[in-house]
Structure 1
């Protein structure tokens, strides 16, 4: 757990440069609710889950470092890069395995998104890649993967609602490891107040087509956009309940803390 915090603090130190926002905190909160907004951001998402393993004795801390970088392509399009770098500490997920800590597999998404909404809809499509960057055999699928990803949403007044999805197939890697053939679906709805408080209800569901098992965590997260010095940030947290979990997966309740650095133009 200490190494997870060290990584987070190091990245904050390197990237926490002053940002002089021209937009209101409410506008920035709405942009954070949009996965393909033209906003450079660096979210740190710390998750905790328990009751993992065949005897429900394991727990896991997972810090997702998720830089989002929009790149302008001409007058009409943006390319949005969204990276998920997991830093993991887990203990007793199976009898006799002890604890593991380190880096997990990176998921890299690229969305081609029009700068202007299409009939009120904001959307993006592109490829997603799975990179076997895990530092421990128990923290990696040890497979290279790729597939399509897409997002579609609407923003009406204080409301943002939509869905993000992808599918990843493995195409290379260790032949002795299980193939990857999974669909990720993230429907979400967010209400943002004039004081830049956002309440989000979502699920980050995953279906494994080979094992025919679902992972369905239901989550409520509350965040606040504010300024620390000249740096715009968002912070908050929430709870998660595992409505459905794969064999030996987490059960019951979990939690999430979020801290995001924003760099508006």
Structure 2
């Protein structure tokens, strides 16, 4: 209940703050351009999204899992026509009744680091590079205790106000605790987003996680709404969405979930 209260407070803050911001700012093309860049995972834009996820009804004990993903995106210009986009995901997890009845785990989970080599393009946008699994978990039940690596790929098309594409990776473990199960997992996110001149956006995405080692599949679908606004001089994006599971084994599939994202944006001049 405490996690739910915190999550609901974040959503209420988002809604009320967004309404105030829309009244204070006039619509402009720059806000829409920024929303389009944020929809592009390999845009030359520094951002630090903080993604809040809460899922209920997991496994045989109706577990609850609250995850904060800290996800900085940092681009590097290699040449006039080639960028290196680095993406980092560091999860902080608070879960109850997942590993057993009346159990509780809290701490860091494993980090994922992705590096996309992205040629500049005005039509089909793409990026390719390695993805790394780093065993940063502070609790054995929150991580794999394995190092992993594999390929990552992004393909998308973007026009003014419309972004559609997918991002995917496949990671295999190659080192780590020999007593733990190997890591062999495929992940993809398919997305479609429409932005407006005000910086508001609506969209829909689907996430697919295939654990080849455990032979489990989890597929969720998420309609979403977002907005660009400012807190003082700091540009920010907010987004909220339900996490609706449509495929998944009963041991990993939640009954339902919610996600709220706040991204701190630092446009490059």
TM-score normalised to structure 1 length: 0.88
Seen in structure 2, the aligned counterparts of structure 1 residues 247 and 142 have a Cα distance that, compared at 3 Å, is farther
Q: Which runs of 5+ in 1 are unaligned?
A: 6-21
CA shift for structure 1 position 74: 1.5
Regions of 4+ moved over 4 Å: none
1:38 aligns with 2:44: yes
Contact 2:58 2:255 in 1 (8 A): no
CA shift for structure 1 position 247: 4.3
- Aligned residue number for residue 262 of structure 1: 265
2:68 corresponds to which of 60, 63, 75: 63
- Aligned residue number for residue 53 of structure 2: 47
Once the two structures are superposed, residues 174-199 of structure 1 have per-residue CA deviations (whole angstroms, 9 ceiling, x without a partner) of 11111111111111100111111111
CA distance in 1, matches of 2:131, 2:102: 31
1:83 aligns with 2:88: yes
CA distance in 1, matches of 2:99, 2:191: 33
- Aligned residue number for residue 146 of structure 2: 143
> What does residue range 7-22 of structure 1 map to in structure 2 within 5 Å?
none
CA distance in 2, matches of 1:225, 1:113: 25
CA distance in 2, matches of 1:76, 1:236: 31
CA shift for structure 1 position 212: 2.2
Contact 1:81 1:111 in 2 (8 A): yes
CA distance in 2, matches of 1:61, 1:251: 12
1:197 corresponds to which of 196, 200, 205: 200
- Aligned residue number for residue 17 of structure 1: none
1:173 corresponds to which of 173, 176, 183: 176
- Aligned residue number for residue 16 of structure 2: none
Contact 1:110 1:127 in 2 (8 A): yes
Contact 1:54 1:94 in 2 (8 A): no
1:24 aligns with 2:27: no
SS of 2:33's equivalent in the other structure is helix
Contact 2:154 2:167 in 1 (8 A): yes
- Aligned residue number for residue 185 of structure 2: 182
- Aligned residue number for residue 99 of structure 2: 94
Q: Which runs of 5+ in 2 are unaligned?
A: 7-27
- Aligned residue number for residue 160 of structure 1: 163
Once the two structures are superposed, residues 21-43 of structure 1 have per-residue CA deviations (whole angstroms, 9 ceiling, x without a partner) of x9811111100100000000000
Contact 2:99 2:141 in 1 (8 A): no
Count of residue pairs the alignment pairs up: 244
1:206 corresponds to which of 209, 218, 227: 209
CA distance in 2, matches of 1:208, 1:217: 15
Q: How large is the Cα RMSD of the aligned pairs?
A: 1.7
